[in-house]
């Protein structure tokens, strides 16, 4: 090597590169376990990375924050990003409210994209292509035919100016793209794990065993990136990046017996916390009526009530050497006040390949009125008749009532162009279920437009 003679001398030119203080980055990990009434177990992993950003872009030096994600959102002017891969159906009646919003099956990308010389759509294409390469998924198929700009849904509340401040672009567009048919598998999980500071080598992420996770009744993993204001004046900005993984495991099918240890459930062991984590915890949330047996050789959980009917037992992993937790509980019935406030079901009506309909049942379990927005993304090959939309509320006393919608928005589909969007507001009566129903004609498809294994049918969201 030649430059061994280099020594520190006066440095004059630094020029355009400039200097700035290193940003403060924090990492937190948290695992929530929740026994479900039907004997299943909900495991919800949350990995939070935050970066205090008191300077403007570009971010250059990364410690805990994943470089590729930051590079991607900066390059494609993405102000906010939510990506999710989901498999299975969430059973609202049995499993209560899901801990995540994105429970539709397949892959979904929701992003606020700004415009530059590439344009909004160019940035969206770039972003989805980059995500596709990163997560080994078919996200590059998100194009005009399955990406939409939602009207009211997914809109950020007014006054949230962090994004604009952060990127210098104030009129970003929210785009939503769905690939309902996307299969989720280990090849998506591996790059997702790669973005974690400790990967699966330490901390709760050590439990991420793909064999057990993909053998579950419901699986969802995702990430979100979002800048938020640290103060009302929004001078300082916090970039938060969260990775979540949610799985509903059927323990009785996986193994015998009624006593389960973490080791049995995941076939892996938590040795310690991730040394980079500011906090690292395992929480078990259960109804206070449930007789939950918790055994741990070393650690004692801190038990506290989180609501009138829910208790939580928390373990701080930073004090543990090995967490060998054992759980057992009797199957229990969900209390009505414990089940989800609101649940939705959607199914296809009719048969044959000419026409059909879609019916969505929305149940309001609360004893009060609920304002909701109904949002439906319908592929272009279903020609929806807006005049056939029928909304009926079935009240608790058996009466049926026609409901009025407000703020109705309907985007006409274009054949081989854009999909249709149906969006309107509803006020659900207390303790009722409401049916939203509409008819469609099935469009004529070229043979190349059929998905592989076409007789299995189409996934429409």
Partner 1 sequence: MGLLSRLLKKKQQAADITTPIGSKRDRMIPLYSVLVAVAIGLPLWWKQTEVYRANLPSEQMIAWDSNPPPIQIPFNFMIEWDDGLEPSSDLVLDWDTKIENRINSALMKDANNDRLRTKLPVSLKFNLQRSTGKNFDTLKPNNYLVSMKNHEKGQNSDKHPLLHVTDTRKWIAYTTKKKSSETLEIFEKSVLNYLVTEQGKLRQSVVTKDTQGSSKDLHAINYSPKYSLVFSLMNEDPESQITTWDIEGALKQYMYPLLNKLSIMSDFKVQSQILRYTALPIPPIASNNGTYITSDMLPNFINSAEWNMASIEPVAPTIHFLLYIPKTTSRPLVIKDSNLVSSKTNGFMISQWGGIHISNPPSDKQVYKFGTKELQPTMEVFVSQLRELLGIQEVSITKGQHKNVKVDELSPSNGVTDLELDSLMCRWLIQNIRLAASTLGSLDRMIISLTNMVVHDSIKDLVSDALNRLDQTVHVLSTGELSNAFTNSAFASGLAEKAFFDPDMVGMLYFPDEHKYAIYLPFFLPATMPVLSIIGFRLRQWKKNRGTKKDRSNPSPLKKPGNPAKPHDE
* Interacting residues with partner 1 between 405 and 434 (CB under 8 A): none
296 phi-psi bin (left φ>0, alpha ψ -120 to 50, beta other): beta
Q: What is the dihedral of CA 444, 446, 452, 458, to 10 degrees?
A: -20
Q: Does 210 bind partner 1 (CB under 8 A)?
A: no
Q: How far from 274 is each of 28, 266, 319, 321, CA to CA, in Å?
A: 9, 18, 12, 12
x/- mask, partner 1, residues 68-107, rule CB under 8 A, reads: x--xx--x--------------------------------
Kindly report the length of the chain: 461
Q: Which of 38, 48, 52, 63 binds partner 1 (CB under 8 A)?
A: 63
- Beta carbon nearer to partner 1, 198 or 221: 198
Q: Which of 67, 211, 259, 302 binds partner 1 (CB under 8 A)?
A: 67
- Beta carbon nearer to partner 1, 72 or 208: 72
Q: Does 109 bind partner 1 (CB under 8 A)?
A: no
* Least CB distance to partner 1 at residue 430 (A): 49
Distance between CA atoms of residues 215 and 229, nearest Å: 40
Q: How many CB atoms lie within 10 A of CB 456?
A: 9
* Least CB distance to partner 1 at residue 274 (A): 9
E strands, 350-399, are: 355-364, 370-378, 382-384, 390-394
Q: Does 197 bind partner 1 (CB under 8 A)?
A: yes
Structural contact between residues 406 and 371, judged by C-beta atoms closer than 8 angstroms: no
365 phi-psi bin (left φ>0, alpha ψ -120 to 50, beta other): alpha
* Least CB distance to partner 1 at residue 133 (A): 7
Q: Does 450 bind partner 1 (CB under 8 A)?
A: no
* Least CB distance to partner 1 at residue 186 (A): 13
Q: Which of 3, 291, 308, 354 binds partner 1 (CB under 8 A)?
A: 3
Q: Does 204 bind partner 1 (CB under 8 A)?
A: no
* Least CB distance to partner 1 at residue 295 (A): 27
Q: Does 199 bind partner 1 (CB under 8 A)?
A: yes
Q: Does 231 bind partner 1 (CB under 8 A)?
A: no
Q: Does 64 bind partner 1 (CB under 8 A)?
A: yes
Q: Does 1 bind partner 1 (CB under 8 A)?
A: yes
- Beta carbon nearer to partner 1, 5 or 257: 5
Structural contact between residues 192 and 83, judged by C-beta atoms closer than 8 angstroms: no
* Least CB distance to partner 1 at residue 60 (A): 6
Preceding amide of 117 cis, omega within 30: no
Q: Which of 32, 51, 130, 362 binds partner 1 (CB under 8 A)?
A: 130
- Beta carbon nearer to partner 1, 127 or 422: 127
Q: Does 14 bind partner 1 (CB under 8 A)?
A: yes
Q: Which of 120, 134, 238, 251 binds partner 1 (CB under 8 A)?
A: 134
Distance between CA atoms of residues 258 and 248, nearest Å: 17
Stretch that binds partner 1, among 64-72, 82-90, 235-243, 359-367 (CB under 8 A): 64-72
Angle of helix 67-75 relative to helix 119-135, nearest 10 degrees, comes to 160
Q: Which of 48, 62, 278, 394 binds partner 1 (CB under 8 A)?
A: 62
DSSP state of 364: E
Q: Does 60 bind partner 1 (CB under 8 A)?
A: yes
Q: Does 17 bind partner 1 (CB under 8 A)?
A: yes
| Edge-to-edge strand ranges of the sheet holding 293-296 | 259-261, 325-328, 293-296
DSSP letter for each residue of 90-103: --HHHH-S-SSS--
* Interacting residues with partner 1 between 18 and 57 (CB under 8 A): 19-20, 22
| Residue among 76, 165, 69, 71 nearest 112 (CA) | 76
x/- mask, partner 1, residues 258-297, rule CB under 8 A, reads: --------------x--xx---------------------
Structural contact between residues 183 and 52, judged by C-beta atoms closer than 8 angstroms: no
Q: Which of 39, 88, 122, 133 binds partner 1 (CB under 8 A)?
A: 133
DSSP letter for each residue of 201-269: TSSGGGG--HHHHTTSSEEEEEEEEEEEESSTT--SEEEEEEEEEEEEE-HHHH-SSSEEEHHHHHS--
Q: How far from 189 is each of 43, 194, 329, CA to CA, in Å?
A: 16, 9, 30
Q: Which helix (H) or strand (E) holds 85?
A: strand 78-88
- How many residues bind partner 1, per CB under 8 A? 44
Interface with partner 1 by CB under 8 A: which residues? Answer: 1-17, 19-20, 22, 60-64, 66-68, 71-72, 75, 130, 133-134, 194-195, 197-199, 201-202, 272, 275-276
């Amino acid at each position: 090597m030649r430059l061994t003679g280099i020594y520190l001398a006066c440095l004059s030119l630094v020029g355009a590169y400039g200097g700035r203080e290193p940003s403060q980055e924090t990492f937190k990990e948290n695992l929530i376990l929740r026994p479900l009434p039907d004997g299943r177990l909900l495991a919800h992993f949350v990995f939070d990375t935050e970066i205090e950003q008191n300077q403007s872009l570009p971010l250059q030096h990364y410690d805990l924050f994943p470089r590729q994600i930051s590079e991607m959102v900066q390059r494609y002017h993405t102000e906010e990003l939510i990506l999710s891969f989901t498999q299975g159906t969430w059973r609202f009646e049995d499993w209560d409210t899901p801990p995540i919003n994105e429970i539709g099956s397949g892959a979904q990308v929701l992003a606020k994209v700004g415009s530059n010389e590439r344009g909004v759509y160019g940035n969206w294409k770039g972003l989805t292509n980059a995500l596709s390469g990163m997560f080994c998924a078919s996200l590059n198929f998100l194009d005009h035919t399955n990406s939409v700009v939602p009207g009211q849904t997914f809109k950020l509340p007014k006054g949230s100016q962090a994004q604009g401040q952060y990127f210098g672009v104030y009129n970003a567009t929210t785009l939503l793209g769905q690939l309902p048919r996307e299969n989720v598998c280990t090849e998506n999980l591996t790059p997702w794990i790669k973005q974690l500071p400790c990967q699966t080598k330490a901390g709760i992420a050590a439990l991420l065993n793909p064999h057990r996770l993909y053998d579950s009744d419901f699986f969802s993993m995702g990430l979100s990136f979002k800048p938020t204001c640290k103060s009302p004046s929004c001078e300082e900005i916090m970039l938060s990046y969260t990775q979540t993984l949610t799985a509903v495991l059927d323990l009785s099918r996986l193994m015998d017996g009624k006593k389960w240890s973490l080791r049995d459930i995941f076939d892996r062991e938590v040795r310690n916390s991730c040394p980079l984590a500011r906090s690292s915890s395992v929480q078990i949330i259960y109804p206070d009526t449930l007789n939950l047996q918790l055994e741990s050789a070393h650690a004692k959980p801190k038990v506290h009530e989180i609501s009138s009917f829910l208790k939580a037992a928390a373990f701080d992993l930073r004090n543990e050497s090995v967490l060998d937790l054992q759980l057992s509980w009797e199957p229990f019935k969900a209390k009505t006040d414990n089940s989800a406030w609101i649940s939705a079901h959607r199914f296809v009506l009719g048969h044959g390949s000419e026409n059909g309909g879609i019916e969505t049942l929305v149940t309001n379990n609360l004893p009060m009125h609920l304002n909701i927005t109904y949002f439906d993304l319908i592929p272009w090959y279903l020609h929806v008749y807006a005049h056939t939309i029928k909304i009926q509320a079935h009240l608790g006393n058996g009466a049926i009532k026609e409901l009025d919608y407000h703020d109705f928005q309907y985007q006409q589909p274009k054949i081989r162009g854009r999909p249709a969007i149906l969006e309107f507001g509803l006020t659900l009566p207390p303790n009722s279920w409401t049916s939203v129903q509409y008819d469609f004609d099935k469009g004529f498809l070229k043979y190349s437009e059929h998905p592989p294994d076409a007789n299995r049918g189409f996934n429409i969201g």
